[in-house]
Amino acid sequence: MRAAATGAALLAIVFTGAIFGFFYAWVCSTMWGLDAIDPRHAIAAMQGMNASVRNGVFAPAFFGTPFVLALAAGLAFLSRMRRAALLFAVAAALYLGFGLVLTLRVNVPMNEALARIAIPEDVDEARAIWSAYSGPWQTWNVVRTLASGLSLVLAALGLVALARTANSA
Protein backbone atom coordinates (compact mmCIF):
# COMPACT_ATOMS: atom_id res chain seq x y z
CA MET A 1 0.00 0.00 0.00
CA ARG A 2 2.90 2.36 0.73
CA ALA A 3 4.31 1.83 -2.74
CA ALA A 4 0.92 2.69 -4.23
CA ALA A 5 0.71 5.80 -2.04
CA THR A 6 4.18 6.86 -3.19
CA GLY A 7 3.28 6.26 -6.83
CA ALA A 8 0.09 8.27 -6.48
CA ALA A 9 2.05 11.03 -4.72
CA LEU A 10 4.53 11.24 -7.58
CA LEU A 11 1.70 11.33 -10.11
CA ALA A 12 -0.02 14.04 -8.06
CA ILE A 13 3.14 16.14 -8.15
CA VAL A 14 3.40 15.75 -11.93
CA PHE A 15 -0.25 16.71 -12.46
CA THR A 16 -0.14 19.61 -10.00
CA GLY A 17 3.16 20.83 -11.43
CA ALA A 18 1.74 20.72 -14.95
CA ILE A 19 -1.32 22.79 -14.11
CA PHE A 20 0.68 25.23 -11.98
CA GLY A 21 3.12 25.70 -14.86
CA PHE A 22 0.25 26.24 -17.28
CA PHE A 23 -1.33 28.96 -15.14
CA TYR A 24 2.07 30.48 -14.31
CA ALA A 25 2.98 30.85 -17.98
CA TRP A 26 -0.13 32.98 -18.48
CA VAL A 27 0.94 35.20 -15.56
CA CYS A 28 4.51 35.89 -16.58
CA SER A 29 4.48 35.88 -20.35
CA THR A 30 1.32 35.23 -22.32
CA MET A 31 -0.90 37.97 -20.95
CA TRP A 32 1.93 40.50 -20.75
CA GLY A 33 2.71 39.77 -24.39
CA LEU A 34 -0.92 40.17 -25.40
CA ASP A 35 -1.19 43.42 -23.42
CA ALA A 36 1.79 44.78 -25.37
CA ILE A 37 0.36 44.30 -28.86
CA ASP A 38 -2.45 45.86 -30.89
CA PRO A 39 -5.60 44.99 -28.91
CA ARG A 40 -7.33 43.72 -32.05
CA HIS A 41 -4.59 41.12 -32.38
CA ALA A 42 -4.70 40.41 -28.64
CA ILE A 43 -8.43 39.68 -28.83
CA ALA A 44 -7.98 37.43 -31.86
CA ALA A 45 -5.04 35.61 -30.27
CA MET A 46 -6.89 35.06 -26.99
CA GLN A 47 -9.95 33.80 -28.83
CA GLY A 48 -7.73 31.32 -30.68
CA MET A 49 -5.88 30.17 -27.57
CA ASN A 50 -9.10 29.74 -25.60
CA ALA A 51 -10.57 27.65 -28.41
CA SER A 52 -7.47 25.47 -28.70
CA VAL A 53 -6.96 24.77 -24.98
CA ARG A 54 -9.92 22.40 -24.89
CA ASN A 55 -7.93 19.33 -25.83
CA GLY A 56 -6.86 15.92 -24.62
CA VAL A 57 -3.42 17.10 -23.54
CA PHE A 58 -4.68 19.86 -21.25
CA ALA A 59 -7.74 18.05 -19.85
CA PRO A 60 -5.97 15.42 -17.70
CA ALA A 61 -3.95 17.99 -15.75
CA PHE A 62 -6.82 20.46 -15.44
CA PHE A 63 -9.59 18.02 -14.52
CA GLY A 64 -7.52 15.15 -13.12
CA THR A 65 -5.37 16.99 -10.60
CA PRO A 66 -7.86 17.03 -7.70
CA PHE A 67 -8.62 13.34 -8.25
CA VAL A 68 -4.96 12.31 -8.32
CA LEU A 69 -4.32 14.38 -5.18
CA ALA A 70 -7.35 12.77 -3.51
CA LEU A 71 -6.11 9.33 -4.55
CA ALA A 72 -2.73 10.07 -2.96
CA ALA A 73 -4.55 11.26 0.17
CA GLY A 74 -6.69 8.12 0.32
CA LEU A 75 -3.79 5.74 -0.20
CA ALA A 76 -1.69 7.59 2.39
CA PHE A 77 -4.61 7.40 4.83
CA LEU A 78 -5.05 3.67 4.22
CA SER A 79 -1.31 3.26 4.82
CA ARG A 80 -1.73 5.02 8.18
CA MET A 81 0.31 8.00 7.03
CA ARG A 82 -2.06 10.60 8.40
CA ARG A 83 0.15 13.68 7.97
CA ALA A 84 0.77 12.87 4.31
CA ALA A 85 -2.93 12.14 3.81
CA LEU A 86 -3.87 15.50 5.29
CA LEU A 87 -1.36 17.37 3.10
CA PHE A 88 -2.65 15.69 -0.07
CA ALA A 89 -6.28 16.23 0.95
CA VAL A 90 -5.74 19.95 1.59
CA ALA A 91 -3.89 20.23 -1.73
CA ALA A 92 -6.81 18.56 -3.49
CA ALA A 93 -9.40 20.82 -1.87
CA LEU A 94 -7.35 23.94 -2.55
CA TYR A 95 -6.87 23.17 -6.24
CA LEU A 96 -10.46 22.00 -6.63
CA GLY A 97 -11.89 25.23 -5.19
CA PHE A 98 -9.41 27.84 -6.35
CA GLY A 99 -8.06 26.22 -9.50
CA LEU A 100 -10.68 24.13 -11.23
CA VAL A 101 -13.94 25.59 -9.90
CA LEU A 102 -12.63 29.17 -10.06
CA THR A 103 -11.63 28.63 -13.68
CA LEU A 104 -15.00 27.14 -14.58
CA ARG A 105 -16.97 29.87 -12.80
CA VAL A 106 -14.88 32.94 -13.66
CA ASN A 107 -12.24 32.56 -16.36
CA VAL A 108 -14.22 30.29 -18.69
CA PRO A 109 -17.31 32.56 -18.74
CA MET A 110 -15.01 35.53 -19.44
CA ASN A 111 -13.40 33.55 -22.26
CA GLU A 112 -16.77 32.59 -23.70
CA ALA A 113 -17.92 36.21 -23.61
CA LEU A 114 -14.75 37.28 -25.41
CA ALA A 115 -15.29 34.54 -28.01
CA ARG A 116 -18.68 36.05 -28.92
CA ILE A 117 -17.16 39.46 -29.64
CA ALA A 118 -16.54 40.45 -33.22
CA ILE A 119 -13.14 42.11 -33.37
CA PRO A 120 -13.74 45.80 -34.03
CA GLU A 121 -11.81 47.61 -36.72
CA ASP A 122 -11.45 50.66 -34.47
CA VAL A 123 -8.35 50.29 -32.30
CA ASP A 124 -9.78 52.40 -29.46
CA GLU A 125 -12.90 50.24 -29.30
CA ALA A 126 -10.72 47.11 -29.29
CA ARG A 127 -8.52 48.62 -26.56
CA ALA A 128 -11.58 49.22 -24.37
CA ILE A 129 -12.76 45.63 -24.87
CA TRP A 130 -9.31 44.20 -24.19
CA SER A 131 -8.74 46.37 -21.11
CA ALA A 132 -12.09 45.36 -19.64
CA TYR A 133 -11.19 41.70 -20.18
CA SER A 134 -7.46 41.48 -19.51
CA GLY A 135 -7.24 43.11 -16.08
CA PRO A 136 -9.94 41.05 -14.34
CA TRP A 137 -8.91 37.87 -16.16
CA GLN A 138 -5.33 38.30 -15.01
CA THR A 139 -6.38 38.97 -11.41
CA TRP A 140 -8.30 35.70 -11.25
CA ASN A 141 -5.51 33.89 -13.07
CA VAL A 142 -3.09 34.99 -10.35
CA VAL A 143 -5.45 33.55 -7.72
CA ARG A 144 -5.62 30.17 -9.47
CA THR A 145 -1.86 30.24 -10.06
CA LEU A 146 -1.16 30.84 -6.38
CA ALA A 147 -3.65 28.13 -5.37
CA SER A 148 -2.17 25.57 -7.74
CA GLY A 149 1.36 26.55 -6.67
CA LEU A 150 0.45 26.09 -3.03
CA SER A 151 -1.18 22.75 -3.93
CA LEU A 152 2.10 21.73 -5.54
CA VAL A 153 4.04 22.67 -2.39
CA LEU A 154 1.58 20.72 -0.24
CA ALA A 155 1.88 17.69 -2.52
CA ALA A 156 5.68 17.87 -2.28
CA LEU A 157 5.41 18.08 1.51
CA GLY A 158 3.05 15.10 1.37
CA LEU A 159 5.67 13.10 -0.49
CA VAL A 160 8.29 14.11 2.09
CA ALA A 161 5.90 13.03 4.86
CA LEU A 162 5.40 9.67 3.10
CA ALA A 163 9.16 9.17 2.91
CA ARG A 164 9.72 10.12 6.53
CA THR A 165 6.93 7.86 7.74
CA ALA A 166 8.24 4.97 5.64
CA ASN A 167 11.79 5.50 6.92
CA SER A 168 10.69 5.61 10.55
CA ALA A 169 8.61 2.44 10.26
pTM across the whole model: 0.94
* pLDDT tens for the chain, residues 1 to 169: 789 999 999 999 999 999 999 999 999 999 999 999 999 999 999 999 999 999 999 999 999 999 999 999 999 999 999 999 999 999 999 999 999 999 999 999 999 999 999 999 999 999 999 999 999 999 999 999 999 999 999 999 999 999 988 676 5
**Residues 70-90: b if buried by 16+ CB within 10 A, e if exposed:** bbbbbbbbebebeebbbbbbb
Q: Alpha-carbon Rg of the chain, whole angstroms?
A: 19
* Number of folded domains that form the chain: 1
Instruction: Answer whether 84's CB lies under 8 Å from 158's CB.
Output: yes
Angle made by CA atoms 67, 68, 74, in degrees to the nearest 5: 85
Name the residue range of residue 146's domain.
2-168
